[in-house]
Structure 1
Amino acid sequence: MSTTVLKGGRVVDPVTGTDEQADLVIQNGIVTGLNAPYASDAEVIDCTGNLVLPGMIDTHAHIYRYVTGRFGLDPDMVGVRSGVTTLVDQGGPSCMTLPGFRHFIAEPAKTRVLAFISAYLVGGLEGHYYPQLYQPECLDIDATAKAVDANPDLVKGIKAHAELGGFQRWGMDVIKLAAQIGRQSRMPVYLHFGQLWPSPEDPMDIDPDTIFPSVLELVKPGDVLAHPFTRHPGGFVDKHGKVHELIRDVIEKGVKIDVGHGSHFSFDVARKVLDAGIVPNTLGADMHGYNTRIAPPPGTPDIHSDPEEGDHMFAGAVRFSLTSAMTSMLALGLTLDQVVPMVTSNAAALLGMADEIGHLKPGAVADVSVLNDERGQWTLRDNEGHRVSAERMLTPRFCLRAGERFDADAPTLPQFTPAQASA
């Protein structure tokens, strides 16, 4: 029998209410429990000073490599090699390309890989770079719903875009179709907010502040509103700097919010939303090939270049991760008790997998994330150039995926020492 002991770490598990220094014992890839007896031949890993969490879940990843061009990243690089045990690809595969996603991405990965399937037939080609591929005629309700029904182990929802460029082209048509797919498949719809596509040459006269309330009329309990902290028009905050009041009503009805950090993140907008008392349920990192400066797959043409997409929240950095996004939440004043559920229990519930992942109950699959928890002084920067000071830095040390250890050595992970980024 193979036994691993994560010794002396601060074990934080929102599901069991655990927050204590303890030894987590794992046997044959299954959690035995806290401070359980173990044999002398067990592998003991000193985790003193570390956070020991249920395996972290990134609810917004882009990992359909090659098929989505420069956009898709290697799943294990942003997964287990970044301390993350479960990834949810947001809109990479479609009903047409889902079999390839399963065979070439999900099955070979050491990371658990899931997907919110694209509402669009083409999926996330080049990160939705070509707007003409995402018009109403490029959605097939029945085909997409059938793909969802046929792949319940892999597909956990639908991805669509509620953004200004699309509304200026097609009004509400696409969003109505996406909402119908969600109802027909009985799955949550994950809705991108904040302008994604540039305005067309002859745009429809759309006030960006009307997009959010219009879309809220279509959402159902369990649907997910993404990018609450976006710097782009058409999101949670209107052009007058006020948070849309309707958001409170849909939250009460069971609609969820995912940070979807990525290139949209604004500290200024985040403070307005948080000050309004709106705290996201989950914390997707939204890493992709346009915002990590990782070399693209061989032979991929450089058809997309946007200097803004290369900016990152850490001053002087070109890389980030899910733990980086957690650090930014802490710098904004959220507590560890608020942030940990975003990447564990809340994320598992969003996926309908609360019984399987997101906790460290005895008998659970041993998905565990071990984080360094440092104190110092760092400066964080968003894509608008705004800076905030952070006194706490979380970085991944390693994770266990079904008991197998993976060290956090991804090239996308920031490397900082205290006060290094203060300039």
Structure 2
Amino acid sequence: MKNLLLKGGRIVDPANHRDEIGDLLVVDGRIDQVGVVDTSSIGGDYEEIDCTGRLVLPGLIDTHSHVYQYVSGRFGLNADLCGVRSGVTTLVDQGGASCMTIPGFRKFIVESSASRVIPFISAYLVGGLEGHFYPELYRPECSDVDATLMAIEGNRDIVRGIKAHAELGGFNRWGVSVMEKAAEIGRRSDLPVYIHFGQLWPLPEEGGSDVDPDTILSDVVKLLKPGDILAHPFSRHPGGFVTTTGKLHPLVKEAVAKGLKVDVGHGSHFSYETARIVLEEGVLPDTLGSDMHGYNTSVPCPSGTPDEHPDEGHLFKGAVKFSLTSAMTSMLALGVPFDHVVRMVTTNAARMLGMEGELGTLSPGAEADISVLADERGQWQLRDNEGTRVVADRLLAPLFCVKSGVLYEADADILPEFMVA
């Protein structure tokens, strides 16, 4: 750890209503001064970094990651690869750990990573094993409300929410039974429930589906409380925010008015066409998670894990690379205002975690969590896994971050490269 002077960057800090060109001084791992800086109190004991033309933001928060490495097989990525080495200081792991495996998650992920990792505990006994490759492990009998509540109470210092699934394949098998248990865990723990929408599993081969995808949102929303989070609004799969007729589900705006939150949860099922439908109806997601995992990212596959996935759309196979900052670029290309995009990955994310004032801020005295991004102008081609292409005239890319006062270069080899349009 060394004292740092970030010089001449565009400092954007929604928590303090700050957007200006200025300097930022880090002393002893904490933010000391922002804007006009006087270094006389520390003499020459600092490293100066020229941030001219760069964005200096509160440390980015990825609200949807999968980083229970090794324990969740091919599914879990290395936390620091997705975190500090990608310019992101904080990762929310969505459902990797369960009531049975949360001690290992604390020991080997939370305590061993340079990145800050915050678990949303799974509502299922097995957590995120192999990305829910085996659907029968996620039936109602494989969810234990009391055991999960006990695990939450024993880990209140790190657990900030619950992860559950409301997708067509699960509803066709078990209806709302699992979701009822997840909602009960959320109510009794007073933590937010984060809900996956879409087609995580293929439907059972025998008999097909008896479920109308457009009824799933209605069945789930009535179980939820204000502050719970609806994920994947831009999914290309049925059963979410856009109906089978290509219109915004009529319940979405009612759910938002009720106090439910929306997280992009980008992932490999992200669709520009779906995103346009939702955004044109005036529905603006609150937070932005990348939803990167071992099936949709170009990383070596651990030995002994499946070569395929039941949902072919999850597989990388030369598909589109993405990251949290590339997801921010996608939002800008779709017309989401810059200031809102920054809030999605800073103040709004901190609020979702109940960590306002602790994360997502550049306030003097706060722990020095900072992300510095390149902010380029030009024309770049973006593509989703449906083959839809859009042209971005603004590209955000990570350069480095400062986590708890320590500087990390954004050198992860999983970061995407963009084609000039």
Question: Which interval holds the TM-score relative to the shorter structure?
Answer: over 0.9
- Once residues 413 and 314 of structure 2 are traced to their aligned partners in structure 1, the CA distance between those partners, rounded to angstroms, is 18
- Once residues 138 and 299 of structure 1 are traced to their aligned partners in structure 2, the CA distance between those partners, rounded to angstroms, is 24
Match of 1:110 in 2: 114
Q: Is the counterpart of residue 394 in structure 1 residue 419 in structure 2? A: no
Match of 2:380 in 1: 378
How far the C-alpha of 1:50 sits from its partner, in A, is 0.5
- Once residues 219 and 317 of structure 1 are traced to their aligned partners in structure 2, the CA distance between those partners, rounded to angstroms, is 34
TM-score between both structures, scaled by the size of structure 1: 0.95
Which of 353, 359, 382 in structure 2 is aligned with 1:351? Answer: 353
- Once residues 372 and 365 of structure 2 are traced to their aligned partners in structure 1, the CA distance between those partners, rounded to angstroms, is 19
Partner of 2:289, secondary structure, is coil
How far the C-alpha of 1:299 sits from its partner, in A, is 4.7
Partner of 1:15, secondary structure, is helix
Q: Is the counterpart of residue 226 in structure 1 residue 227 in structure 2? A: no
Tell me the matched-pair count. Answer: 416
Q: What is the correspondence of 1:244-393 to structure 2 with a 5 Å cutoff?
A: 244-304=249-309, 308-310=313-315, 318-393=320-395
Q: What is the correspondence of 1:145-294 to structure 2 with a 5 Å cutoff?
A: 145-200=149-204, 201-203=206-208, 205-294=210-299
How far the C-alpha of 1:213 sits from its partner, in A, is 1.1
Q: Which amino acid aligns with 1:270?
A: A
Partner of 2:16, secondary structure, is coil
- Once residues 329 and 3 of structure 1 are traced to their aligned partners in structure 2, the CA distance between those partners, rounded to angstroms, is 34
- Once residues 303 and 261 of structure 1 are traced to their aligned partners in structure 2, the CA distance between those partners, rounded to angstroms, is 21
Cα pair 1:56 1:368 within 8 Å, conserved: yes
Match of 1:143 in 2: 147
Cα pair 1:311 1:382 within 8 Å, conserved: no
CA RMSD across the alignment: 1.5
Which of 410, 413, 419 in structure 1 is aligned with 2:412? Answer: 410
How far the C-alpha of 1:204 sits from its partner, in A, is 5.5
How far the C-alpha of 1:36 sits from its partner, in A, is 2.3
Cα pair 1:293 1:318 within 8 Å, conserved: no
- Once residues 196 and 329 of structure 2 are traced to their aligned partners in structure 1, the CA distance between those partners, rounded to angstroms, is 23
Partner of 2:266, secondary structure, is coil
Cα pair 2:7 2:24 within 8 Å, conserved: yes
How far the C-alpha of 1:214 sits from its partner, in A, is 1.2
Q: Which amino acid aligns with 1:374?
A: E
- Once residues 258 and 320 of structure 2 are traced to their aligned partners in structure 1, the CA distance between those partners, rounded to angstroms, is 39
How far the C-alpha of 1:45 sits from its partner, in A, is 0.4
Partner of 1:323, secondary structure, is helix
Task: State the Cα deviation string for residues 325-364 of structure 1 (Å, max 9, x = none).
Answer: 0000000011211100000000000000012110000110
Match of 1:43 in 2: 47
Task: State the Cα deviation string for residues 19-59 of structure 1 (Å, max 9, x = none).
Answer: 00000111011001212211233211000010000000000
Partner of 2:15, secondary structure, is coil
- Once residues 379 and 114 of structure 1 are traced to their aligned partners in structure 2, the CA distance between those partners, rounded to angstroms, is 33
Match of 1:22 in 2: 22
Cα pair 2:308 2:315 within 8 Å, conserved: no
Match of 1:70 in 2: 74
Partner of 1:214, secondary structure, is helix
TM-score between both structures, scaled by the size of structure 2: 0.96
Task: State the Cα deviation string for residues 345-396 of structure 1 (Å, max 9, x = none).
Answer: 0000000001211000011000000000001111100111101010110000
Task: State the Cα deviation string for residues 166-208 of structure 1 (Å, max 9, x = none).
Answer: 0100011111111111111111000001111111123551100
Partner of 1:33, secondary structure, is strand
Partner of 2:349, secondary structure, is helix
- Once residues 118 and 253 of structure 2 are traced to their aligned partners in structure 1, the CA distance between those partners, rounded to angstroms, is 29
How far the C-alpha of 1:421 sits from its partner, in A, is 4.2
Overall identity of the aligned pairs, in %: 62
Structure 2: gaps of 5 or more residues: none
- Once residues 358 and 15 of structure 2 are traced to their aligned partners in structure 1, the CA distance between those partners, rounded to angstroms, is 12
- Once residues 340 and 227 of structure 1 are traced to their aligned partners in structure 2, the CA distance between those partners, rounded to angstroms, is 19
Cα pair 1:169 1:203 within 8 Å, conserved: no
- Once residues 295 and 333 of structure 2 are traced to their aligned partners in structure 1, the CA distance between those partners, rounded to angstroms, is 25
Q: Which amino acid aligns with 1:26?
A: V
Partner of 1:391, secondary structure, is strand
Instruction: Give the direction of change, closer, same or farther, for the CA distance of 1:128–1:301 in structure 2 (3 Å limit).
Output: closer
How far the C-alpha of 1:291 sits from its partner, in A, is 0.5
How far the C-alpha of 1:106 sits from its partner, in A, is 1.0
How far the C-alpha of 1:303 sits from its partner, in A, is 4.9
- Once residues 289 and 2 of structure 1 are traced to their aligned partners in structure 2, the CA distance between those partners, rounded to angstroms, is 34
Match of 1:88 in 2: 92
